[in-house]
Amino acid sequence: MLSATSAPVIDATLPVVADHLPAISDVFYDTMLGENPDLLNLFSRSAQATGRQRSALAGAVAAFASHLVGTGSAAEVVDHVVERIAHRHCALGIRPEQYTMVGRYLMGAVRTVLGDAVTPAVAAAWDEVYWLFAARLIGREARLFAEAGVRDDPWLEATVVSRIPEADDTVSFVLAPADGGPAPAFRPGQYVTVAVDLPGEGRQLRQYSLSQAPTGGTLRITVRRVRGTGGAPDGVVSGFLHDRVGPGDRLRLSRPYGDLALRDDDTPLVLVSAGVGITPMASMLDHVARTRPERDVTVVHADRGPDRHALLADIRSHGSRLRSFRHLVWYENPGGAAGAQPGLLDPDLIPLEPRAEVYLCGPVPFMQLVRAGLHRRGVNDERIHYEVFGSEQWRPTPVAV
């Protein structure tokens, strides 16, 4: 809880901080990465170049402040955000001592942008907000690291056992721990970070969802090559994995993390995906087929066309082992594919059993469309679980997914 001294100060200064988030974020990253260039091996260089995730951290601190003074998100939303960030931080190997440095640069950026408005009382109040948030994250991250068995080194050396073409621009990599030990346990829906050393450019980290059920032997990721459009460069890590990595190569992985994790019960399940968002769904379906074949499952997928549809054979094979399985597919360009509906997915046509739990993954506009359709049909947010293959923005005025 925020102290009685800080609460009115935060209340009074929140609007001006919220208005200046982009400028604060720019100064924060420019000074922190400028003075500590090693951190460019931790933060995504592409996100820095595009400015895409730049306001995620400062925006979350402002949103947390707004929650603390009672004008922002409800406690359940905060719990969800803490969970999501903590999983992401663990997957990146963030350490508690790094919070001191980030806090210092963040407060420095607030001072630089807001100038004389940042009196000692204002600085102390925002420092308190930052550390309340940091304490929650550090605590949760410590527990997640402990559960994953991580003590010092968060990285795991893995050998690429095989490389499987799945669809246009999409390849799976089957990975086994290089020390011959068992693959780490995970919950279907979770992801690993892959740390790639790019020749001459340093290290970059990206997350990839595990696309098979946990089996204890190997882990499988399925990677779509990101092609740059309109003059933008191609994706660096997906391009590296596609062009340079094959059987026998080594990759450095995090343990599995992620708050989108299948609930293991017998409620009807609806798995909705678009594009490469099918990866966590394939893992969930595989797991259900192995462990609860009596569970009622509907898989709904949207893609540009049959050539882009990854893991289709897996979905069909897992589905064939279930007692009650429905599979609906939409293609923007069906090109004569049998059984698929043409055009964009229509959320009103998603079969919904009473009490169904829905898992959702795909581009944000796609998820917004499906979620709105589900709301109209009486499915509330407690029954909708989703993963964003990017950064989710949490702001003082909540932005819907």
Ligand X SMILES: Cc1cc2nc3c(=O)[nH]c(=O)nc-3n(C[C@H](O)[C@H](O)[C@H](O)COP(=O)(O)OP(=O)(O)OC[C@H]3O[C@@H](n4cnc5c(N)ncnc54)[C@H](O)[C@@H]3O)c2cc1C
Q: Given candidates 50, 317, 368, 397, which one binds ligand X under the rule CB under 6 A? A: 50
Cα separations in angstroms, 88 against 114, 173, 347:
30, 21, 29
Of residues 72, 189, 235, 347, which one binds ligand X by CB under 6 A?
235
Residue 387 is a binding residue for ligand X (CB under 6 A): yes
Angle between helices 98-114 and 21-35 (to 10 degrees): 130
Q: How far is the CB of 123 from ligand X (least distance, A)?
A: 33
Q: For residue 257, what is the DSSP state?
A: B
User: Which two structure tokens, joined as six digits, stand for 107?
Assistant: 């407060």
Using the rule CB under 6 A, give the single segment among 108-116, 286-294, 300-308, 385-393 that binds ligand X. Answer: 385-393
Element (H, E) at 312: helix 312-320
201 is catalytic: no
Annotation says 99 is catalytic: yes
Closest to 285 in 3D by CA, of 185, 213, 208:
213
In whole angstroms, the minimum distance from the beta carbon of 57 to ligand HEM comes to: 4
> What six digits make up the tokens of 254?
């995090």
**Interacting partner of 137 out of ligand X, ligand HEM, none (Cβ under 5 to 8 A depending on kind):** ligand HEM
In the list ligand HEM, ligand X, none, the entry touching 261 (Cβ below 5 to 8 angstroms by class) is none
Catalytic residue among 29, 105, 128, 141: 141
Closest of 285, 284, 333, 326 to residue 309, by C-alpha: 333
Task: Kindly state the smallest distance separating residue 157's Cβ from ligand HEM, in Å.
Answer: 21
- CB contact at 8 A, 278 and 315: yes
Interface with ligand HEM includes 43 (CB under 6 A)? yes
Phi, psi (5° rounding) for residue 231?
90, -5
Contact between 257 and ligand HEM by CB under 6 A: the answer reads no
Encoded tokens for 120: 């000692």
49 versus 101: smaller Cβ distance to ligand X: 49
Q: Which positions lie near ligand HEM, rule CB under 6 A?
A: 42-44, 47, 53, 56-57, 60-61, 84-85, 88-89, 92, 94, 98-99, 102, 130, 133-134, 137, 391-392
